[in-house]
């Protein structure tokens, strides 16, 4: 009598496994996400490392000799910065972003540039045909640097092609379209994504191949598939921005070979993505002089200082409770700052609607933007504009004090380079460094003092 295949039910959102069907996942709470899958036979246990293919033994830490892998730089300095200096051989990089944001365009440009360095590149597409990729390459205007195209979703065929070509770099577009033939579930399911990612990770580590993987995102903005997907790879990048605007931000949220605070800024053109070498000037070029509700702050994104305009619109509320809306700023932090303004500076904001945003589509979440946020709110409330040559840096405490921030010298140098004449910063940040010539540094100890100096 034939042995009946065992099945289980797995949640497609979080990977929770149940022996029977459940309408609602008890782990993540999603409805109708349980899919029936056959249980794979695991009697054939592997005794070798899944990363190197060799049998592993315990080794003393002092006897381990680290390998120094040279990074390969692309022509996009913004991408090199986010990756920590370039592409590391044998690494696995996951790139996520909304549909139409430019993920495939970015990786196609990266493929051309890596091919120009003398590396062999294999571009595997599960969403587009080779002819469609050729048309995009023609639009980008750089067809001289050849690389291999392979329109396939079967991991067995992809693995055989990689063994045959022995490429230095592999692009997988996208992981949700790839399938393992010995798994019965559909493409994009938790099992398929998990197993194909594990297979690609083994190929990357055992052969020293750098693999870029495109991942779809959910409506909440996180990468689709099991959460372990982000834990398996070496680097996780998010490509952000409004598809109706030209600017794109590449942000690292995980990087085993560099900082997770770096961002790269690009602008989308018909000929592809071009890096923005001076984002501060771009974010400030459309600022109107003399208008109320505007303040400039120097935010640190990794090691890079960026000047951003914070805008506020404060108007009397018409119905019941006052409304608060933020774009690019943390809602809870804005509410805190408005409470401090009301308690410590005497601004009656409880009957005022407030709308705040960080201009240019950038997201700011560091404490140093507090003072500029408070100044923009007070400026709109008082109908008094700030001077176009002034900048504000500082964290605000609940008692109204202006607290010190990090990297103050780099921030002030960026302000001076862009022609600003005065910068307000925490009084405790004045010692230990020398301000550059041509800029006035004003130290303030409290929020009330800062407001009196700015709007005197």
What letter would DSSP give residue 171? E
What does the H/E/C string look like for 344-356? HCCCCCCCEEEEE
Helix axis angle, 331-344 to 370-382, nearest 10°: 60
- Sign, CA dihedral 77-79-84-86, equals negative
Torsion of Cα atoms, 207 then 211 then 216 then 220, to 10°: 100
91 labeled binding residue: no
The enclosing H or E element of 343 equals helix 331-344
Query: In sequence order, which residues have a C-beta less than 8 Å from that of residue 374 and are 6 or more positions away?
Result: 337, 340, 341, 396, 447, 450, 451
CA distances from 131 to 125, 134, 149, 212, 223 (A): 11, 5, 10, 21, 28
343 is in an annotated binding site: no
SS3 449: helix
419 assigned to a ligand binding site: no
98 is in an annotated binding site: yes
Contact residues for 118 (Cβ-Cβ < 8 A; gap 6+)? none
Known binding residue 393? Answer is no
Whether residue 441 contacts residue 404, with contact meaning beta carbons closer than 8 Å, is answered with no
Binding residue per annotation — 102?
yes
The reply, when asked if residue 361 is annotated as ligand binding, is no
| 302 carries a ligand binding annotation | no
Residues whose CB falls within 8 Å of the CB of residue 255, separated by 6 or more in sequence, listed in order: 82, 83, 84, 234, 235, 236
> Exposed/middle/buried for 98, CB within 10 Å: 0-12, 13-18, 19+?
middle
Q: What are phi and psi of 265, to 5 degrees?
A: -115, 130
How far is 452 from 220, CA to CA, in rounded Å?
Answer: 42
Which SS3 state, helix, strand or coil, does residue 141 take?
coil
Binding-site annotation, residues for ATP: 97-104
Binding residues, as ranges, are 97-104
């Amino acid at each position: 009598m034939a042995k009946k295949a065992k099945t289980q039910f797995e949640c497609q959102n979080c990977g929770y496994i149940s022996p029977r069907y459940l309408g609602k996942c008890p782990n993540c709470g999603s409805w109708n996400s349980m899919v029936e899958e056959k249980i794979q036979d695991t009697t054939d246990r592997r005794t070798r490392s899944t990363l190197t293919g060799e049998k592993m033994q315990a080794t003393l830490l002092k006897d381990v000799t680290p390998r120094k892998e040279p990074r390969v730089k692309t022509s996009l300095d913004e991408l090199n910065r986010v990756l920590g200096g370039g592409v590391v051989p044998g690494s696995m990089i996951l790139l996520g972003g909304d549909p139409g944001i430019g993920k495939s365009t970015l990786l196609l440009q990266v493929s051309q540039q890596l091919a120009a360095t003398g590396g062999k590149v294999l571009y595997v597409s599960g969403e587009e045909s080779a002819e469609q990729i050729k048309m995009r390459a023609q639009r980008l205007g750089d067809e001289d640097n050849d690389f291999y195209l392979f329109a396939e979703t079967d991991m067995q065929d992809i693995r055989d092609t990689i063994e045959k070509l022995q490429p230095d770099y592999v692009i997988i577009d996208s992981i949700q379209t790839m399938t393992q033939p010995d798994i019965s579930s559909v493409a994009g399911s938790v099992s398929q994504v998990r197993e194909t990612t594990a297979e690609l990770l083994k190929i990357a580590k055992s052969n020293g191949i750098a693999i870029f993987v495109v991942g779809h995102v959910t409506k909440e903005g996180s990468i689709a598939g099991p959460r372990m997907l982000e834990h398996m790879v070496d680097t996780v990048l998010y490509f952000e921005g409004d598809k109706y605007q030209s600017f794109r931000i590449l942000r690292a949220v995980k990087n085993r070979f560099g900082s997770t605070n770096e961002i790269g800024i690009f602008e989308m053109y018909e000929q592809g993505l071009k890096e923005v070498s001076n984002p501060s000037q771009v974010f400030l070029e459309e600022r109107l002089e003399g208008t109320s509700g505007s303040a400039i702050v120097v935010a640190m994104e990794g090691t890079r200082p960026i000047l951003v305009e914070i805008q506020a619109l404060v108007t009397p509320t018409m119905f019941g409770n006052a409304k608060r809306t933020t774009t690019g700023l943390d809602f809870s932090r804005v509410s805190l700052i408005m409470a401090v303004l009301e308690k410590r500076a005497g601004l009656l904001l409880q009957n005022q609607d407030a709308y705040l945003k960080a201009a240019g589509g950038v997201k700011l979440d560091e404490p140093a933007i507090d003072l500029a946020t408070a100044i923009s709110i007070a400026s709109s409330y008082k109908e008094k504009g700030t001077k176009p040559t002034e900048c504000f840096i500082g964290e605000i405490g609940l008692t109204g004090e202006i607290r010190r921030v990090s990297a103050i010298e780099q921030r002030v140098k960026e302000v001076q380079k862009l022609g600003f004449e005065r910068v307000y910063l925490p009084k405790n940040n004045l010692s230990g460094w020398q301000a550059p010539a041509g800029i006035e540094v004003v130290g303030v100890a409290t929020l009330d003092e800062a407001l009196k100096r700015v709007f005197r």
